[in-house]
Structure 1
């Protein structure tokens, strides 16, 4: 009796079975509706279990005293390891000398393969990989200065100084008689047709600065920094290179490395490759896969520039990375769809498809009846 009283509130009236009309088109619409509901249900379920990454932008409030790791792995196929020097400095003029960063040089042949028996050589920053210039063991009575001076040049150093006074550069030091026993020349002959793979990481302050890999002895004096190329011309050094890896900070899911795997050909000696890098502090929050863990790292964008030193442009052949830090921080956070939202979406899918299918079926059925009456 009580349940019978609720009958008057029923808005879903049911026609008698005898008055129901089933059509072929209605059956087709029903099958299509079931298929659409199933596909949408499957899609929504996969979306519910998937982890989404939300992105937000903040002003970077982390301390400027933080240290940043720069990881790199770069191959120079046409520059021997003995001639390459690594330097790091910032806008405050602070240079890193004899630090214990993990930096290694690995000798490779002209085809890019590791030389058999060659072990990686660990090297600190701003430590010159070349040896000091020696004096020839056999000196001529009055050696030629090769047009750079009128007097005698009896040592390799005399020839270099004469060329420096003239403002000349020695195109091929191996042709200078006084330099044939020079240790630098001997190193050149010893490592002819070799390349070098340099990899490791350096620890830098969170301020604007640069690090570079260039040939020659690194010299810092009176707040200036330069490289001694042993009187050789800049065109003697082919700085073609491949960046196997260049990154700032720790890895995190989805991190982008814009320079990894790219090769930059110089096509001639004396090319200065400049990379202007804008480093953006980044925080990744593991809200789903590892709740409560936050990872602080960095991502970067880069602009590349090339200078031809042999054409009179200032600079030094090599690879130069000039970096600066953005005042903004990007926050990535793992998020998952709420169960309530998932259930609401399922109801919306089923109800929406059923309603649209009913309207289509009703429209077609009504149109068919009207056409039959007209005929």
Structure 2
């Protein structure tokens, strides 16, 4: 008695063989073990890939372009007293901020000790105040509570007592306003009385340095932060400095410096591997060439960046930047290292940071390298691929064994 065959039998893609028709071999067992080991390794790799956290960047238009940007800096000038360091900030909008010390930045005296290498003998001393503006220091007689009007030595009109220089800082600013050379304030009564001249000479003879650190704000447009010697002034439409004291001591001053830290915006607590170096690439940079009449330029390309954590709870906005360094002598001429390069002539000995702000923003989001469905698909594909390759290998080995056995029987 025969039974009707089910209709789905003709669709079976997995044909079976009876147990009696199966032949088990030693080579098949070895191949099976190897396939199992390979499959386990592939599954392990899939799991590692599934649990790995990666950072995926996305480029968008920066909508915070109208907000001001923070500059975080910590720079040491090893051979320049704080009395000579002037920090100016200007950009393409036409804004000019003269001597931005105490607008987020502060100066610290660096005093050298004996019997130690120069790079290890720097100690922070109390911060020095910035030069005040002309309106703050050169007050008229009616604003002077003491009823005295100090001489400005012809630098400002005083026929109607509209300006009164009652301090050394006032005389120094008046000289800068008149584009006069101030030197060290010698023979100026206000400076001699305040002890400015003696203190300044003591610091120069002691070969003091200066450390500038803190945070300042800039507009998100191209601009320059300039570290130069002497008071700032404008002459014939150009931004210049009083170099009288800097040039008076030929062997005492230069702009050797160490950049301990320079960054823009906040510092994230979590970053992708390799990205943290682009947030502060100048950290630890040194320029120790002992060149007095020299200009150091740093050209910075800044890109706004956001980091978002895996759970979405932490979002930090910061900035990455790349930098190109360039220095040249004020005398110009051919470059010592590149004979075909001709440097321009002129300028002011200084260290200048020229920054250019990108209108785009990079958003870095932390994510798992694979989804759950991708992990399952990877595991199934790994197992299926190993079994298929193992089956082909086993058939090839079995066929070879049978061929060799047939030749022996002959």
Partner of 1:282: 305
Spell out, residue by residue over 1:99-149, the C-alpha distance to the aligned partner (whole angstroms, 9 max, x if none): 753323233344334656723x16569889xxxxxxxxxxxxxxxxxxxxx
Counterpart-to-counterpart distance in 2, 1:343 and 1:198: 56
SS in 2 for 1:112: helix
Q: 1:240 to 1:231 in 2, by over 3 A?
A: closer
- Kindly indicate whether the alpha-carbon contact (under 8 Å) linking 2:255 and 2:290 is maintained by their aligned counterparts in 1: no
- Kindly indicate whether the alpha-carbon contact (under 8 Å) linking 2:109 and 2:124 is maintained by their aligned counterparts in 1: no
- Kindly indicate whether the alpha-carbon contact (under 8 Å) linking 1:283 and 1:295 is maintained by their aligned counterparts in 2: yes
Counting only pairs closer than 5 Å after superposition, residues 212-251 of structure 1 correspond to structure 2 as 212-220=226-234, 223-233=237-247, 236-251=252-267
Q: Choose the corresponding residue for 2:323, options 285, 292, 302.
A: 302
Structure 1: unaligned runs, 5 residues or longer: 129-156
SS in 2 for 1:211: strand
Partner of 1:140: none
Q: 1:13 to 1:221 in 2, by over 3 A?
A: same
SS in 2 for 1:321: strand
Query: TM-score when scaled to structure 1?
Result: 0.75
Counterpart-to-counterpart distance in 2, 1:373 and 1:242: 83
Q: 1:365 to 1:67 in 2, by over 3 A?
A: same
Partner of 1:66: 67
Q: 1:20 to 1:326 in 2, by over 3 A?
A: same
Partner of 1:204: 218
SS in 2 for 1:326: strand
Structure 2: unaligned runs, 5 residues or longer: 113-117, 135-171, 333-343
Cα drift, residue 320 of structure 1? 0.3
- Kindly indicate whether the alpha-carbon contact (under 8 Å) linking 1:219 and 1:226 is maintained by their aligned counterparts in 2: yes
Tell me, yes or no, if structure 1 residue 351 matches structure 2 residue 403: no
- Kindly indicate whether the alpha-carbon contact (under 8 Å) linking 1:101 and 1:124 is maintained by their aligned counterparts in 2: no
Partner of 1:314: 346
Cα drift, residue 231 of structure 1? 4.5
- Kindly indicate whether the alpha-carbon contact (under 8 Å) linking 1:86 and 1:126 is maintained by their aligned counterparts in 2: no
Spell out, residue by residue over 1:340-367, the C-alpha distance to the aligned partner (whole angstroms, 9 max, x if none): 1111111111111222222222222223
Counterpart-to-counterpart distance in 2, 1:106 and 1:305: 27
SS in 1 for 2:347: coil
Cα drift, residue 222 of structure 1? 6.8
Of 33-42 and 200-209, the range deviating more from structure 2:
33-42
Cα drift, residue 74 of structure 1? 1.4
- Kindly indicate whether the alpha-carbon contact (under 8 Å) linking 1:215 and 1:237 is maintained by their aligned counterparts in 2: no
> What is the Cα-based RMSD across aligned positions, in Å?
4.0
Cα drift, residue 321 of structure 1? 0.4
Q: 1:178 to 1:96 in 2, by over 3 A?
A: closer
- Kindly indicate whether the alpha-carbon contact (under 8 Å) linking 1:126 and 1:218 is maintained by their aligned counterparts in 2: no
Counterpart-to-counterpart distance in 2, 1:125 and 1:37: 74
